[in-house]
Amino acid sequence: MITVHHLVHSRSQRIIWLCEEIGADYEIVTYQRDPITNLAPPELEQIHPLGKSPVITDGDQTIIESGAIIDYLLRHYGHGQLSPAVGSVEHEHYLQWLHYGESGAILPLMLKLYTSKLPDGGATLKPRISDELGRHLGYVEQSLEGVDWLVANRFSGADIQLSFVAEITPLLYSLDDLPNLAAFRDRCQNRPAYRRALANAEPYAYGPKI
Ligand SMILES: N[C@@H](CCC(=O)N[C@@H](CS)C(=O)NCC(=O)O)C(=O)O
């Protein structure tokens, strides 16, 4: 049985959604954030020393990192769904997006989030971060031009991975300038499996405003 160790209002919402998409048999163990620091509770370190979410356990396997978890779940439980065939050009694109969602794309967003908490708003770093943010969000926006989904215009694990970027961008950057990303987020959030995941877990701050 797959156990999704789910920190509220976090990237692990994506993993619950993925389990719903593929009809996997899973259970959720929920962890609350510290009300002052917003960090994960120490109990999560008993599952994995980093104490981050998502983390899944499956038999004697413990796996961290959203991209690795998506890859693992699709290989073991996906029955060929949501991932292009290994060896195809589409699979190369899929891997690129799967990694990009938690590396290139997320970094400027996290930098902006953290520096905005500094007393001077991270003044010296601000121009560089803004430049990187515009560059990466611009790339995503352009990649979604005229398509619904990132890889061969078919919904895949890569879309689930990038959904978190789409969901937290409005905290830091106006989605008015990113209509393709806004529409992508809405498409993700309107999938029946996404809605089932919402219903199965605790309230999610970055979910649809309904
Ligand atoms: N790149 C990792 C990021 C993991 C991560 O930083 N998760 C955040 C939640 S979105 C977390 O656990 N924060 C709580 C903490 O740092 O204490 C992944 O995609 O799994």
Q: Say yes or no: CB of residue 156 within 6 Å of ligand 1.
A: no
Question: Rounded to a whole number, what is the distance in angstroms from the first to the last CA of the chain?
Answer: 32
Pair 62, 41 in one domain = yes
Q: Which of 35, 175, 47, 142 is nearest to 12 (CA)?
A: 47
Structural domains counted in the chain? 2
Residue 208 lies in a domain: no
CATH code for the domain of 137: 1.20.1050.10
Pair 93, 176 in one domain = yes
Return the bridge partners of 2, or none. Answer: 26, 58
DSSP H stretches of helix in 23-171: 66-77, 89-100, 106-115, 126-143, 157-168
Pair 109, 64 in one domain = no
Q: Say yes or no: CB of residue 54 within 6 Å of ligand 1.
A: yes
pLDDT in tens, 68-116: 999 999 999 999 999 999 999 999 999 999 999 999 999 999 999 999 9
Global pTM reads: 0.97
Pair 93, 75 in one domain = no
What distance in angstroms lies between residue 30's CA and the mean position of ligand 1's atoms?
A: 14
What distance in angstroms lies between residue 77's CA and the mean position of ligand 1's atoms?
A: 24
pLDDT in tens, 18-71: 999 999 999 999 999 999 999 999 999 999 999 999 999 999 999 999 999 999
- Ligand 1, atom 12, lies closest to the CA of 52
Return the bridge partners of 154, or none. Answer: 151
Find the domain containing 112 and state its range: 89-190
Distance CA(62)–CA(129), nearest Å, equals 34
Pair 156, 99 in one domain = yes
